[in-house]
Structure 1
Amino acid sequence: MIFGDSGWNGDLTPRPSRVTSWGVKSVLHGLQFILDNLSWQPGVSSNLNVWTNKWVNGKCPNPKDDFLGQDFLFLKDLTIRDLQLNTGGWNQHFIRLLFDDETTNRILATHLRPNQVVDDPIWSFTETGEYSVKSGYGILCSEFFASKASALNRSRMNIKRKEFCRTRICHLSGPQSWKILVWKILLNSLPVGVEFEKRHLPWDLSCCLCHSSFTIVESIDLIFKDCEVAARIWAGSSLGVNTEQAGRISAGDWIINWIHYLRTLDDWEVPTIQFLATIVSICNLRNAARFRGGKFFPEVFFRFLNHLVGVTMEARTQNSKSLGQGSSEAYDDGNTEQGLGMNSLRNGNPVYVTGTAGSCHKIRLMVDASWRKLCEASWGWIALDMGGHVVGEGNGRGFAESPLQAEALGVTMAITWARDCDFLHVEVSSDCLQLLGQWAGYGAGHYLIAGILDDIAILSTNFHYLCFSYVCREHNGPAHRLARRAMTMA
């Protein structure tokens, strides 16, 4: 509540006056800013206009070019409820007639909660869907620097890369110092020549590795990708990377693309460690050349690089043994309450247990999912009895807005299959720690899967016993292959 002569009327509108308070103006602009950036999570009885409300990826959808003429006039009052079937779910045929493929996939990936009748406002810049001052401030900073392209790109890049660091970098194997270095590279936070030049500090701005051109200021892109010495290192590494093929892409985006690619490999962890170790070795070489006058000797450098990879792999093996699992995602130290809980999940301790486990027959559902950027998703599951024999399997495909949502949908489909097969005692195993952490209460709930978790809670009432546990990625290969097979099916 605002007291005093602030220039307010009772309905939160400024009182006419010769001079309006800056506080009043700020609050009004803040309210309008939130309203302009809110999107909607539609309910099953949504009366929101399809064209004038932001409900598809935080934007108002546009129709196909075919409907921009006379035909579109008859659809201008179309509501979201008109895009749904009377029996529930989306009317895919009608939606494909109105929208292009990308918009159609995003609409079909929007999860409709049966018990959600009203439309919920969503702040799509946070995981929980709730507004936070931090997220709003970041967006306002981006808009404020709109006239300065470099500052704008960096601000937007930081938001995107921070999310990547939180969801990917922290989950990789390797020493914490490696992850911090990659984090700083992605956020342009290393003390290199361009940063000293901005602050007008006396510093040798040239590249200390190649010294090929004193007119090019030392930057993160130059050190880790464009420098002649860096290019030779990447070409001579076990990955055999040709940095010239990257073109003018920034080093941060280049690293993100490589990590995404390496994660698609079946045996992704060893090349990922080699990739990160090469980045760390280049940084150490640069520091040695900058502060101690060191030089690049290929034989010595690659001997050090191979030693660094070997030590890291040995430490990872020891860490996996101490956890009692072959987990490739052992990254936290377990010192916090959340860390202890995640280690408990990795050890196979069940979460979200409903009912009581009896001595009767129980099956274990191994579930995995696959996801593509155009909101295409697929999932697969395999059912094992208590003796480890396969008693059934299945897969399917659909639409999801994120990999996490795809994993949650995969679990839903697997549980539905188990219910239809009259299995009453079920243990569901997934390799997605983030999803299991949602059930265990670790971290904030994600608005994209809130409705799916409610659906799973309703499905759990059909079982005498149901629980969820973690399985490492190496042991979840059959379900992973079933999910990939479904993705490639027409």
Structure 2
Amino acid sequence: MADMMIKDLILPSLHWNTDLINVLFDGEWARKICAMPICVSTSNDYVFWKHTPSRIYSVKSGYAICLSTHLSRYSTPKDLNRINYPVKAFCKRKLWHLPGPQVWKILLWKIITDSLSVGAEFARRNIVMDQMCPLCCVPDSIETLDHLFRDCVLVKRLWACSSLGISTNFTDCICLRDWIINWILFFDSKENSSSSIILFLSMVWSIWRVRNEVIFSGKTFSVDYFYNLQACVAKAALEAEEFATSKASRLGQSSFNPLDTIRSDIRNHFPFFMVGEKGACKCFRAKVDASWVDFSRASLGWVVYSPEGVRYCTFARSFVAESAIQAEAMGIRDLITWALGHNILYLDISSDCLQLLLQLAGVELPHHLTKGLLQDIEHFFTFFHCLCFTFLPRHLNMVAHNLARAELGL
């Protein structure tokens, strides 16, 4: 029996020799052998690679198999048989096309490819570092990606109390990678998907940023600070997405010409426009600029020249603004109110913020952060005999620019 081969169990008619099989094997094994189909082809056997359409092995396909195994080392065998969306396809078709800043997508890519440096990853590379989670500080909590972004007791509360209301209970059977991909695909299938995806990504980004501030800046974790940070970054991303969508939809119209929406009295002087009758002999000239660092630090600066070209006044102050364009609008409004307070009724304002001038001219719709400020500016039009707005490149507006930056200590 030791010298027997499989062909010895097959009859010349290409059927199993059931009598011999039943003698040599137990009943269960005999039934399994007889249930196997017999190949009737006379071709020789050959080795093939099942992971490529050509059935030929390539280094690329081998690397892909090793990478998928590496990505799934935290998953259970059940998870490996149930991947709802292949990682490679998600990164190619979805990840880099998601709304939001590019840095969010890079962070998400690092999470999905398991290449983010956390405590457990340092330990795997034999780097001596504290593996304890810096957020919950539970002695037995090892900072893995799953723990940091989803399973930490504090992070669970953050997800549950967020505007998305995501419950992270009963998620032990799914790895973080699949959990993130499934949520993004779920949001993408709904109406107004961009806002939900931005909120989801802002939560992931805020968790990572707060974690780094706790480790590298020595800050104490605060739920209020986290939600303020998340709300700010999400709001900024939503505004950017709203502006990009609006601009793309308008520019997508083949017949659209920005100059067509400018009032006829300024069309021939774009990007310069004027309200009232210009009196060149007595017009003050002003250059204004703003500097915006984050949601708590902004400043403005301006310099005013007399009709004779002599520097008349310089001014700078710091304040709070939610975006750079809002800071620019506040700078122009403050300059106009200052001019009216000094009885300057002929004023030529130069700014390097073309987007704001386009909104003032009616070329672009005002953003909700600048709408009220632009209404104030337009209200002041009636008090001037002549009010001009001129676009000025940044390199010609360095005096006002440096005034604003110096106010922030930059």
> What TM-score bracket applies, with the shorter chain setting the length?
0.3 to 0.5
TM-score for the superposition, normalised by structure 2:
0.44
TM-score for the superposition, normalised by structure 1:
0.38
